[in-house]
Amino acid sequence: MIKADKAEVLWDEHKKNWVVRIQIGEEVIRRACKDAKHDATDDTLRTLAITTASDEGYELPTGTVTITR
């Protein structure tokens, strides 16, 4: 697996869902996550980011995930 540099999980007010933004060098991948609720805990959102990155073929260390509420 390729190691991702970092990820950010943020709430998209317009679409009413969480978005995981994964950065690998200059490349950025954005994935909508419609299953997570707006009031999800930080741990849930970190797990969501790691799972999403893994599904895309990237390894994402837990400490590199930022959550923007």
- How confident is the prediction along the chain (69 residues), in pLDDT tens digits per residue? 899 999 999 999 999 999 999 999 999 999 999 889 999 999 999 999 999 999 999 999 999 999 999
- Residue spans of beta strands (DSSP E) within the chain: 2-3, 6-12, 17-24, 27-33, 58-59, 65-68
Q: Find the distance separating the first CA and the last CA of the chain, reported in whole Å.
A: 29
- Per DSSP bridges, beta strands 58-59 and 65-68 are unpaired
pLDDT of residue 13: 95
Taking the C-alpha atoms of residue 68 and residue 31, their distance in angstroms, rounded to an integer, is 15
The 3-state DSSP class for residue 36 equals: coil
pLDDT of residue 52: 97
